[in-house]
Structures are given as C-alpha cells and as structure tokens.
Amino acid sequence: MAEIVLRDLVKRFGPIAAVAGVNLRIEDGEFLIMVGPSGCGKTTTLNMISGLETPTSGEIRIGDRVVNDLEPGERGLGMVFQDLALFPHMTVFENIAFGLRVKKTDGAEVERRVKAAAEAMHIGALIDKRPSECSGGEAQRVALARTIVNDPSVFLMDEPLSSLDAKLRLDMRTELKHLHHRLRATFVYVTHDQAEAMTMADRIVVMQGGRIEQVGAPLEIYRRPATRFVAGFFGIPTMNFLEGEVAAGGEGDGPAFRSTRVEQPLSASTPTDVAGRAAPLGVRAEHVRLVPSDDGGGRVTLTEPLGDETLVFFEYGGAAPLVAKVDPDSPLGPGDPVAFEFDREWCHLFDAEGGARLN
Amino acid sequence: MADARSRFRHHRRAWVRHAILLAWTFFIVFPLYWMVSTSFKGAGEWVSWPPHWYPHDFTIHNYRQIFTFSALGEELSRDATDQAFSIWKALGDSLLICSVASFIALVLGVFLAYAISRFAVGGSKFRHIILTIRMVPPIVIAIPILMYYAIMIPFTTEVLFGTRIILFDTYFGLGALYVATTLPFVIWMMLSFIDEVPYTLEHAARMMGAGRMYTLRRVVLPLVASGLVVTYLFVFILNWSEFLLALTLTHPEVTTLPVLLNKFQSASEGRLYGPQAAIGTVITIPVVILGVLIQKHLIKGFSFGMIRK
Ligand SMILES: Nc1ncnc2c1ncn2[C@@H]1O[C@H](COP(=O)(O)OP(=O)(O)OP(=O)(O)O)[C@@H](O)[C@H]1O
Ligand SMILES: [Mg+2]
C-alpha cells in the first residue's frame, strides 16, 4: 500500500538540473538505497519524495495518490536527517513526542507510545536527557525513535550514519537492517558509501549526474554492472580497467580482448557484434590470477596484506598498474616478476563512448 | 637569564596595561560618581568652588523631592523649589511607552527577521540595507514628523472623516515612532540569532506535520529565547534614554524621564542640579540592572548546545 512511483522527475536549480528525469518504482516494504557520488542528486530526489522540495516537473505517487501537492506532513512519511535535526531545547522525551503533540494526541497515549518507541531503540534510560547530553550513537537512536513513534509506512533517511565513527556505523547498519525486518516498512536510504549500500539494501539505485545509472540487487550490481561508472563505483579495490579492442574469434578459439600488452581470451558467450570495436575491459581484483614467472610481463610494485587476503599491485606496461587479490600466504613481494591472467567469465566489456555494458 | 628577563618584560607589559585600563575606568566612572554624589548634596554644594568631592552635608532631600506624591509641603520646598517635580508621572509614561513600544517592535521584528532569514525577502542585500535607515540623524526626522503629527494628520483626518486625529503629545504618537526607529535594530539582531537555527530542524518539524506557526512557536522561538531577551533589553534601553523625539513631540500631556530631567529648574534658583542628579541616578539604575542581565544572556547567547558542534 505504500509503493512509491517516480515518473520523469526533474528538479532544476537555475540552469543546472540536480535531478534530470528519474523513473523509479519503490516496492512496498523494500529497503532501497540510493547511492552515488557527491552532488549526483540523491538528496534532492529524497527531498522531492518527502515534499521538502517541489519538483520542476514529473510526478510522485505514494500508494495510489499523486502527492505532488501535498504538504510533507500529509504524506505519511518519516524522515531521519543527516544532522539528525534533534530539537536541542527539548528533552529526549519531548523530541520523540513532537509528532504526537502536533496531532494533539492525549497525554497518556503520548506517554505510552514514546516509552514504547524509546524501549524499542534501547534508549529508555535517556528519556529525561537533552540531545546535547547524548553520545553520537544515542542521538542516532533518538532520531530513529522520533520517526518510529509516528508509525510511518515509509522511512526516508539521508546519510543518517555519516557522522558516526567507523565502529558504530557498522553496528548501526546491522541494527537498521533488524529494524527494517521488524517494522516491515519501506526504507528509502541515501548514502554515498557503496559498502553501506551493498550490505543493507534489498535493491540499490546508482545515480550519477542527476540520472539513474542502474537499479538492481546488490550482487547483481556487483557482478553485472550496467555501466563503466557503476563498475568503478562498487567494489574495493576499484575494478581494473584496460583500454583495448575486441577481436573476433578465429577457429578453435573464441573472441579475445587485445591491447598493446595484453591478449585476453573472452567468454564464448561474448556477443559477436562487439568484435572489432574499441572496448575497455574491466576485471575485478579477485578475478586476476598471478603466477611467479620471468617472462609474464608483470612486475609487483606493492603488496597490501588485509589478513584474509592480500592485494598485489603490479605494473604490466599499461597506463595504470593493475591489482590482484591473492592468498595471504603468497610469497610475492615488490620487484617480483609475475605472469597474470584474467578469469574469462568475469571480464566486463564497456562501450568506449557511453560506458554502457557490452557483454 | 633570558627567562628572567622575558618574565620581567612580561610583568612590565601587564603593569602598563593595567595602568591604562585603570585610567580609562576612572575617566568613565567619574561622571557617574559625580552624578550620584551630587544627588546627595544640598543646594549650596551643587556648584560650590572648589568642588566638594563628596557631599559634606549628606542629605536625601533630593530624593524625597522627586519621589513625593503630593505638592511639596513647607519642609520640602524650603531650600529648593516651589514647584512639584514629582517623578511618578514621567516614570509611568516612560515605562508604559518604552515597554509597550519595545514589545511591539520585538514582535514585528521577529517575524520580519524570520521572513528575511528564510525566504530572503527583499533580496539578498536587504539585510544589509536595513541598518542604513538608522544612519539618518533623529533631528532630521523630528521636525518633519512634528509637522505631520501637529498639522497634516489632524487636518487630513478632519477633512476626510470629520474628526481630528492628533498624534502630537500622545502615547500612541511617540510609541509608534519608537517602534519605527527601533525596528531596524530588532530585525538586525534577530537575524543573527535566527540564522543560527539550522533549517533542518524546521524540516524535521514539517515532516512530522507541524505548520509554520507551530514550528515557529515550538522550535524556532524557544531556540532564540536568549536573543529575544537581549534584543528586547537593548531596544528598551534605547527607548528609555531617547530624548530628542520625546522633547519635540510631547508637551505637556506626555512626559518621559529624559525630558523631565531637562525641565528640572526653578525660577528662583536656576538649574536644580541636586534633584536632576537624583533623577539621573534613578533612571540609570534600571539600565544598569538590564545591562547586567544582557551580559549574562549575551554569554549564553549563541551557545544553543546543538549536538555535533
Ligand atoms: N537549494 C539549491 N540551490 C542550488 N543548487 C542546489 C540546491 N540544492 C542542491 N543543489 C545542487 O544540485 C545538485 C545535487 O545536489 P544534492 O544535494 O541532491 O546532491 P547529493 O547527491 O545529495 O550529494 P551529497 O552526497 O554531497 O549529499 C548539486 O550540484 C547541488 O549543488
Ligand atoms: Mg546529500
């Protein structure tokens, strides 16, 4: 009942289009995360859904109502802000009670619901404190409780974890996921942190320059990025890219990717019409195999042990060094000559012009 | 050695600084002292030469004179004056006009400042233009306003409505002018406070269904409460000590304290410095108290205790 549909949504600020035509259907009850680099229009899109920003054109529907002309408070949404926006002059109790007070809920009811929301967020003990007396994590919970208490069917969150320290952020991720499970409400969540998106989302919307680049489940986006931008945005370390072209397969062997230094056989399923075109090849570090070899053409420049695996950066004569993930017990060290090979099933080909995926 | 020398130099600098500050303090405080001490002197000591640095003949006669409720009796009029210069009427007028005019200016100014801060009403430069209104010397407007209050408005209203509305020498006339002249200050000061209230607080309130007025009342105004107090006191003091407009635009019905102060003279003895000094002292006391209050609030002023700041 709380499905949200955005149709041809546009928002201009003077000459620049912060959001340049967004079409999106947000399913009831899903955890949808919008992710993208700074300035790509995530906040603007979210604010148009919330009603804090008026679209230049396009339509927003929540359930079966067009809400373009509804006040923010009439849309049945709850929002958690980046700076939390707790009222500094009110106690935690009054902060949480604010929405109920606006609706003139009677005192006993307010008391009961605020207590319940506070308990649910494990902040029952803080109820008489001021926001300034709460730690970052506690303030975060207060902000969530203040939203939960109004029982919205949709939660909008704009980078709510960005001001927490790294450890706390990880804990809150898990907690938000639990919360989503428990409430079964729709979550629309904005972040520029791709790891946050990967770990929490049911579906991810990747935005760039006011447009949607790709919508999909986290693994789908990781495994089959629709554009070169998405491929580069997701994954740590960043995907390796090599400039070159695709050669048609001869007899006996399939198509291959060729650059001045590299000849890489491609999966047999590579579309035939790609042959002969210039097409950058992308391959993730975990799909690069390294073997010590004197005539492989590669030379290790740097290793970064991560514990469970080790990143090996190596030169191969191309524009930028490549990176591979190897076993942490690998004996490779800086200066060692290596041969490298890519897993042909995991080679991504992109259009040299627009960056769209080709295979 | 170098250490000792630098410590010596440090001490000497502190010494010089304190000497200068002490001299300056003396310079500022002496007139105040003179006013207070004169208020306790008898008529013979007011202008004696060489000056009496302190009241040789300590008396509270001046205070009894200005605070009397009745016409001056035998005893009070003896060595000073035969006129009743009671302070009560002027004190009441001053309190009434200043408190009401300051309050109205505050209410109007808060809403104007809110609109300017949030919606950039009047364009982005408007906030800087507001104060230029105050660059006009009061004397420039005093006389033209007198013309309107005493002639144009009564004449026009008589022609149009058949009744003569006179603003000259009325509470409303002077009060309205006080509102107008202090409004720029209120807007200017409240702008700096309201600008400090993060916009997302209002967004949060709106998301929870609060209307503009509710948000203003429950979120914005409580957060600028210190600012409201400081601004009110500041404007109150301005009005409290305003002289020129009151002198020009009132007489004999409405009298504010600064005007009364100036009128304090008698036919037989010239300026009555003693009662004048007593009134001066009485007028100053509230200002000093308010000043102390402002100081406390100024310190509190902007530290809202925002989270993450
Ligand atoms: N009120 C405004 N006036 C003018 N330009 C704006 C306004 N709000 C946003 N913009 C512009 O619109 C673009 C998108 O902004 P938006 O805040 O949606 O980005 P974002 O994706 O949320 O970025 P971030 O990750 O930094 O929060 C930016 O180029 C920004 O400069
Ligand atoms: Mg943003």
pLDDT at A93: 97
Nearest CA in chain B to A86: B201
A38 lines ligand 1 (CB under 6 A): yes
Q: Does B238 contact chain A (CB < 8 Å)?
A: no
For residue A355, being part of any structural domain is answered with no
The protein residue whose alpha carbon is closest to atom 25 in ligand 1 is A38
Asked if B48 and B133 sit in the same domain, the reply is: no
For residue B299, being part of any structural domain is answered with no
Asked if B48 and B117 sit in the same domain, the reply is: no
Q: Which residues of A243-356 form beta strands (DSSP E)?
A: 245-247, 256-258, 263-265, 281-283, 288-292, 298-305, 310-315, 322-326, 337-342, 348-349
The mean pLDDT of A135-151, rounded to a whole number, is 93
For residue B284, being part of any structural domain is answered with no
The protein residue whose alpha carbon is closest to atom 18 in ligand 1 is A41
Asked if B64 and B111 sit in the same domain, the reply is: no
- Min Cα distance B309 → chain A (Å) is 9
- What is the count of structural domains for chain B? 2
pLDDT at A250: 65
Q: Does B304 contact chain A (CB < 8 Å)?
A: yes
- pLDDT band for A201, please (50, 70, 90 cuts): very high
For residue B102, being part of any structural domain is answered with yes
Asked if A15 and A126 sit in the same domain, the reply is: yes
Query: A293 or A34, which is more confident?
Result: A34
Question: B195 C-alpha to center of ligand 2: Å?
Answer: 21
Asked if B73 and B104 sit in the same domain, the reply is: no
pLDDT at B303: 47
pLDDT at B192: 87
Q: Which residues of chain B form beta strands (DSSP E)?
A: 265-266, 270-271
Query: A18 or B290, which is more confident?
Result: A18
Nearest CA in chain A to B309: A132
Asked if A214 and A305 sit in the same domain, the reply is: no
Asked if A316 and A186 sit in the same domain, the reply is: no
- What is the count of structural domains for chain A? 2
Tally of CB atoms within 10 A around B70: 8
Rounded distance, CA A223 to CA A231, Å? 9
Q: Which domain holds residue A46?
A: 4-226
Ligand that lies nearest to the alpha carbon of residue A41, given by its number in the listed order: 1
- pLDDT band for A324, please (50, 70, 90 cuts): very high
Which residue intervals of chain A are DSSP H helices? Answer: 42-50, 92-102, 107-120, 136-148, 166-183, 194-200, 218-223, 228-233
Q: Which domain holds residue B8?
A: 2-77
pLDDT at B122: 86
For residue B270, being part of any structural domain is answered with no
Domain stops at, among A194, A226, A258? A226
pLDDT at B68: 80
Asked if B153 and B40 sit in the same domain, the reply is: no
A15 lines ligand 1 (CB under 6 A): no
Question: B288 C-alpha to center of ligand 1: Å?
Answer: 49
Interface residues from chain A to B (CB-CB < 8 Å): 50, 52, 71-74, 77-79, 81-89, 98-99, 101-103, 130-132, 134, 136, 139, 146, 150, 163
For residue B98, being part of any structural domain is answered with yes
Asked if B148 and B228 sit in the same domain, the reply is: yes
pLDDT at B305: 37
Tally of CB atoms within 10 A around A334: 12
Q: Does B297 contact chain A (CB < 8 Å)?
A: no
Q: Is the pLDDT of residue A92 over 60?
A: yes
Domain stops at, among B24, B44, B77? B77
Query: A227 or B252, which is more confident?
Result: A227
Rounded distance, CA A188 to CA A46, Å? 8
Asked if B235 and B202 sit in the same domain, the reply is: yes
A40 lines ligand 1 (CB under 6 A): yes
pLDDT at B31: 94
B204, B214, B304 member nearest A81 (Cβ):
B204
Asked if A72 and A163 sit in the same domain, the reply is: yes
For residue B202, being part of any structural domain is answered with yes
Rounded distance, CA B256 to CA B97, Å? 8
Closest ligand 1 atom, residue A11 Cα: 12
Asked if A332 and A197 sit in the same domain, the reply is: no
Q: Do B209 and A99 touch (CB under 8 A)?
A: yes
Question: A81 C-alpha to center of ligand 2: Å?
Answer: 10
Q: Is the pLDDT of residue A353 over 90?
A: no
The protein residue whose alpha carbon is closest to atom 4 in ligand 1 is A13
Which residue, B172, B286, B304, B299, is CA-closest to B233? B286
pLDDT at A283: 94
Domain stops at, among A226, A253, A272? A226
pLDDT at B308: 32
pTM of the complete model = 0.81
**Do residues A207 and A44 make contact, with C-beta atoms less than 8 angstroms apart?**
no
For residue A106, being part of any structural domain is answered with yes
For residue B304, being part of any structural domain is answered with no
CATH of residue A77: 3.40.50.300
For residue A359, being part of any structural domain is answered with no
The protein residue whose alpha carbon is closest to atom 2 in ligand 1 is A13
Prior bond to A237 cis, omega within 30? yes
Asked if A132 and A171 sit in the same domain, the reply is: yes
Domain stops at, among A174, A204, A226? A226
Question: A38 C-alpha to center of ligand 1: Å?
Answer: 8
Residues 6+ apart with CB under 8 A from B260: B85, B87, B90, B279
pLDDT at B82: 46
Asked if A259 and A126 sit in the same domain, the reply is: no
In order along its 309 residues, chain B shows pLDDT tens digits of: 567 777 778 888 899 999 999 999 999 999 999 999 999 998 888 888 888 899 998 998 889 888 887 665 555 554 444 455 678 889 999 999 999 999 999 999 999 999 999 998 888 888 888 888 878 888 888 999 999 999 999 999 999 999 999 899 999 999 999 999 999 999 998 998 899 899 999 999 999 999 999 999 999 999 998 889 889 988 998 999 999 999 999 988 898 999 988 877 666 667 788 888 999 999 998 888 888 877 766 665 444 433 333
Looking at residue A91, what DSSP letter applies? -
Query: A156 or B89, which is more confident?
Result: A156
Considering only A127-131, A271-275, B92-96, which range has the smallest mean pLDDT? A271-275
Question: B111 C-alpha to center of ligand 2: Å?
Answer: 30
Asked if A159 and A251 sit in the same domain, the reply is: no
CATH of residue A341: 2.40.50.140
pLDDT at B266: 64
For residue B215, being part of any structural domain is answered with yes
Nearest CA in chain A to B307: A132
A47 lines ligand 1 (CB under 6 A): no
Asked if A95 and A13 sit in the same domain, the reply is: yes
Asked if A222 and A245 sit in the same domain, the reply is: no
pLDDT at A158: 93
Asked if B226 and B259 sit in the same domain, the reply is: yes
